Each structure stands twice: as structure tokens, then as C-alpha cells.
Structure 1
Amino acid sequence: MSDPIRVVLVDDHRMFRSGVKAELGDAVAVVGEAPDVDSAIKVVREVQPDVVLLDVHLPGGNGNGGSDVVTGCAGVQTPGGDPVRFLALSVSDAAEDVIAVIRAGARGYVTKTISPGDLDTAIRRVAEGDAVFSPRLAGFVLDAFGATAGEIAEVDEELDRLSQREREVMRLIARGYQYKEVAKELFISVKTVETHVSSVLRKLQLSSRHELTSWAMSRRLL
């Protein structure tokens, strides 16, 4: 049995931190907590967690909240030598908040309306190196980093291997949509989504959603 993912919780509301811990239960190991930027940086450097789950609005630091935590912990690694990864968990869904913390180096951004099960999944995906976003927030990041919606390269042999439906599924998966959300968006079954994703990964010779996102963004397909 693998060791649980080690998490530090950063939020200025103690009751919220307690609630997140209770909801996640034994799914992860909470190895530290902090209510502000300065104590968060100190805790992260001391315990070297796998993932830091943090709000974007925090007191202290240079006034940039969660972004200050991410930049202040640049270069910190886990005991195993992997980089400490950051997942923003906030009530805010404002584009400027999303873009700021991602520019600082966070791997994902989800809102506090997320279910405990989906939060557990998001933490695990971030720990594995994936980028994770609540679906409507992914567009903010893609736009900010130069990916233009619907733009397709004139000549792209790899893209030409995909059918039109596979391209539609690929874009949504790369934006961070879950299978059930893709199914709802395209009016198809979850099983059909799974089949298309498997086909896309096979045709493009990719092995994960993270690689698929990087592939799509490099071609400005999102």
C-alpha cells in the first residue's frame, strides 16, 4: 500500500481548515496548517509536503496572498526529491485571481464548491504532476498563456489523425473537464468519452491527461 499524499492546508479560517480535514479523512495525510503567508512559507519549508492546498486571499507577505506562498516556496522539494506542488482552493472564481496564482507556479485552481471526492481526486492529480482546474476556470488560464480557443494549425499531421469528435473531446479533457462533464457537454455517454480519450492518447502516443494538455497548448488548440 502506497503512503498517503502529504498535504499542508493554508487558509485564514481555522474552521474551514478543520472542515477540509474532516471531509478528506484518511484520503490524505495533513502534515501542517497555516493561516497566513509567512507561516505558510515556514511550514512548507519545514515539512516539505507533496501538495499545498491554499486559498488565494491570505494576510501577510507582500499582499499577493496565495501567490506569495507559491513564490516564497520556490525550489522546495519533497523528501523524495519531487517539487512541492500547489493547488489553489478558493471561493473566488475571478480571472485575475486564477491567473495570478498560476503565473506564480501553482498547478491548479478549484473553487470551494468542489465536492470532497472531487477535491481528493484533484489533490492526487496535482501530486502526480497534472494541471487541474474547475472547468470554467481553465479558459482563463489558456487565454492568459496565449492559447486561442478553436485555433487549429493549418498543417498538423498528428492532429489530422483525430476525428472531429475526438478533437472535441480532446479540447475539453485538456481544459480540465472530468469525463462526466465532457459527456454532459457533448451529449454522449461517459463510456463513449472514455473510448474517445483512449483513442486520442493512442493516436498521439501520449500517456496521461497532463501530456495531452501540454500537447494541446503547444499547438494553441484550446
Structure 2
Amino acid sequence: MIDPQDDQLNPVAAAASEISVVIVDDHSIFRTGLRAELAPSLRVLGEAANVDEAIAVVTSTQPRVVLLDVHLPGGRGGGGAEVIQRAAAACPGTLFLALSVSDAADDVVRVIRAGARGYITKSSSGGEVSEAVNRVSEGDAVFSPRLAGFVLDAFGAVAGETAQTTDELDRLSAREQEVMRLIARGYSYKEAAAELFISVKTVETHVSAVLRKLQFSSRHELTAWALDRKLL
């Protein structure tokens, strides 16, 4: 007797069981190889080779999981972490899984703080990557075994860092915080002024105050600080 619930015989059920994926990596050979090795239940909606392409593809296709390299060209220099921070708001149902050749603690912590649900290395097999995608899709956090310690060590200090960040933000007025976030995201003074309906001169005044209060000498330092504290 044929079971109508059998996914292999029921195209609707089979489609419902698929997990949509986008692959982001700046090496086309790696993307092609990974795509060929993923499980049949993972449906690749698109690929991207840099930050800006990744944001465009992810926001337009709204995949369930993004396989995301940590080091990517383009954008504002933030790599995979920047993709997450800029795309996440427009893709509330999308989850990010870092897949990188790097196993450096700084890379792991940076992308997890940005919002990635896991981090595995490129030494993983196609089957292991597929399993990780399935687990992330179901709500689990997934890490290559030797990387888990980095995450535990880093987030053991989260409470203290949160308190420090709160103290730093308390130095800024509400308007200064608004200007700070826009400038840190890469807005020009003119763009920030238009966004907040204030004059360019007022933006310049607020930026000077922000840099002085936070003791930074440039907007690049401000951007790095804001990205590290997940304020963008």
C-alpha cells in the first residue's frame, strides 16, 4: 500500500521538508564543490562572493540558512559579521552558519556576537555541513568541537562587557546615539542629516561630541567599536 505521506511520492510534502540555503564565499571553486556535496534536502537558492552581493541575495531570497564565510571582500570591511548585521533585520526567518577555513578565536567570537547560530570549519565533510544546517534550522547552535571552548570563554565575560557598553552609551545623549549609529554604519554626514531631518552642521557637531566622549580619533575607530558591541 502506498503511503501518501511518503515524501518521495508526495511532491508537496517533499518541498515542505526542504531547507533553503544560500552559500556565501569568495572562492567560486569552493562554492561549486560545497553545493555538489550538500544533501538533496538542502535547496540552494543562490550564491554570493562578497558582502554586498551576499546582502542582496539573502534579502531577496530569504533562505532558512546562510552558509557564510567569515572573511569576505566588499561592503564596509566587516566581512561575514557585516553581512549578518546588515541583513538580519530584513530577514527575520533567516539563520546564519559560519563556515570558514579560519579557526582563530577572534573570528569565531566576532561572527557569533554578530548573530551567527554556529561556526564550523571548511575541513568538515559535505555530510557534516548538511547535518549542521539541519540542526541550525531546527534551532540548535552548532560548533566544530575545538571551537566550542572559544565561545564559552568569550561569553563568560558578556555580562561585564554589557555593563561597560551601557556605561559608555550613557555618556551620549539620545540624539548623539542616533548619529553615532548612522555614522558607524557608513552614512555620510549629508546622508545622516537627511535621515534625521537635521542640518549637516548639526551632524558634524554631534559626531565631534561622540568622538570626544568615547575618546576616539576617527569614525573608523567608532565603527570598529560599534561592530564589536553589536550596536549596528
TM-score by length of 1: 0.62
Q: For the Cα contact (< 8 Å) 1:6–1:30, is it kept in 2?
A: yes
Q: For the Cα contact (< 8 Å) 2:71–2:79, is it kept in 1?
A: yes
**Which of 42, 52, 56 is residue 56 of structure 2 equivalent to?**
42
- The answer on 1:127 being equivalent to 2:141 is no
Q: Secondary structure at the match of 1:113?
A: coil
**Aligned match of 1:65:** 79
Q: Which AA in structure 2 matches 1:132?
A: V
- Highest Rg: 1 or 2? 2
Give me the whole-angstrom Cα distance separating, in 1, the residues matched to 2:76 and 2:122: 24
- How many correspondences in the alignment? 144
Q: Percent identical across equivalent pairs?
A: 62
> 1:1-222 maps to which residues of 2 (within 5 A)?
1=13, 2-77=16-91, 83-146=93-156
Q: For the Cα contact (< 8 Å) 1:109–1:134, is it kept in 2?
A: yes
Q: Which AA in structure 2 matches 1:122?
A: A
Give me the whole-angstrom Cα distance separating, in 2, the residues matched to 1:73 and 1:130: 21
Give me the whole-angstrom Cα distance separating, in 2, the residues matched to 1:48 and 1:76: 9
Give me the whole-angstrom Cα distance separating, in 2, the residues matched to 1:146 and 1:25: 35
Give me the whole-angstrom Cα distance separating, in 2, the residues matched to 1:84 and 1:111: 20
Q: For the Cα contact (< 8 Å) 1:6–1:49, is it kept in 2?
A: yes
- More helix by proportion, 1 or 2? 2
Deviation track 1:124-161 (CA, whole Å, cap 9, x = no partner) reads 011111100001101111111117xxxxxxxxxxxxxx
Q: Which AA in structure 2 matches 1:112?
A: K
Give me the whole-angstrom Cα distance separating, in 2, the residues matched to 1:88 and 1:73: 15
Q: For the Cα contact (< 8 Å) 1:8–1:30, is it kept in 2?
A: yes
Q: For the Cα contact (< 8 Å) 1:107–1:132, is it kept in 2?
A: yes
Q: Secondary structure at the match of 2:40?
A: helix
Q: Secondary structure at the match of 2:156?
A: coil
What RMSD in Å do the two structures reach over aligned CA positions?
A: 1.5
Q: For the Cα contact (< 8 Å) 1:10–1:36, is it kept in 2?
A: yes
Give me the whole-angstrom Cα distance separating, in 1, the residues matched to 2:83 and 2:120: 17
5+ unaligned residues in a row in structure 1: which ranges?
148-222
Give me the whole-angstrom Cα distance separating, in 1, the residues matched to 2:140 and 2:42: 17
